[in-house]
Structure 1
């Protein structure tokens, strides 16, 4: 299920503004890759290019290559909607659909993709997805309650259940725990550790301890100043990045001397 992503010579634009420049990296399957760096360095922008969400922003475009198992996701014959079906995304703030029940939230992506599903298959998918998000035991007796009735941490896990219900190959997470309390954050981190065996996961985080805990590889991005593009400074195994980075700016950021 999990797939590899290869990024080569990627430039990301908003209109004429170059937001991220000259990024080349490989994201390994069945692993967690963390993007770290100061605010405004393009981490979330780059993340959104991986499933073509960047194009939703007026003027958003890319130059270069983003390939999943050798297929250029920006190729002329590639459907952006199909890309987003294969590469799910979880946002910074939990965003369950407020008028839908917990079960309906899980099934929303499946039904949006016009997949016909029997009542029994739908019930099985809801249970399987909620179990995959470590939420089933907490909500199994109230599946018809609104998704918005859950706590913040439960809502975020519901959004993860909704994402995995469509059986993606890659999961993108944009600061998925930044709006949560420490206990809910730990639950999300534990879930990420479990999901890595089935998915390729890319996470943006400002929490250095979180990056060190959950990721296998870490990419550090930086920006030279206001109006300048973000750039990939270095990428390596997380243990190496946090113990013996090869670039001084990386060490300065991780140690809290800037950013």
Structure 2
């Protein structure tokens, strides 16, 4: 399932304002790539461009290319809905559908993607597999008919991960997935990410330097020159290198807490 992402000369706009400028990077399959940098530098905007969520905002657009195993996700005739099925996303705050049961939350994405004709027994297997994959099955298997909103915050986030992987994407994007969680739930999500990278390409935005150091294989540092300026990718390398001997002084200053 996991696929490689190659981004080339990507500029991201909100109307005439260029929010992110000139990003070129490669994201390896079956790995975790962390994106770090101060608030407002374009990390989350860039992340949303990887599955075309950015363009749901009126006036938003990109130039450049995002290649998924060589196919340009912004190419002519490419369906954004299909892109989002292959490149799933987990948001900052857990967002289970409040009126749906745990079971219905897991299969919601499948049903939106043409899975309404799937037999009940097959659907049951998909739900169990997705919840197993999200390390949630043993905690909820006896209450699948309860509302998703009845779970704790950490469980809700794992439910959202189960919902994302139920449609069998190639890539999983996570926008600060632990920022609203307590330390124990954060550790559970980090352990889960480490397991999921065996099957998925994972890209995570995080403000937590320790988290980036713990979970990621590679790290990209974004920065911004000032208000009204576009965010830029300053450098990207193996995480161990970025946190020990970064090439750029601004990276070292940010990682060491001198700014941001």
Give TM-score scaled by structure 1 length.
Answer: 1.00
Uncovered stretches (5+) of structure 1, i.e. residues with no partner = none
SS at match of 1:109: helix
CA distance in 2, matches of 1:125, 1:7: 32
CA distance in 1, matches of 2:59, 2:179: 28
Deviations 1:164-215 (A, max 9, x none): 0000000000000000000000000000000000000000000000000000
1:40-189 residue pairs with structure 2 within 5 A? Answer: 40-115=40-115, 116-189=117-190
Map of 2:222 onto structure 1: 221
- TM-superposed CA distance for 1:77, in Å, is 1.5
Deviations 1:13-70 (A, max 9, x none): 0000000000000000000000000000000000000000001011110000100011
- TM-superposed CA distance for 1:95, in Å, is 0.2
SS at match of 1:77: coil
CA distance in 2, matches of 1:127, 1:144: 13
Q: How many residues are aligned here?
A: 259
Map of 2:7 onto structure 1: 7
Structure 1 consecutive aligned stretches of length 4 or more whose deviation exceeds 3 Å: none
**Alignment partner of 1:39 is 2:39:** yes
SS at match of 1:134: coil
CA distance in 2, matches of 1:221, 1:125: 37
CA distance in 2, matches of 1:57, 1:240: 36
Q: CA RMSD in A?
A: 0.4
CA distance in 2, matches of 1:69, 1:166: 19
Map of 2:23 onto structure 1: 23
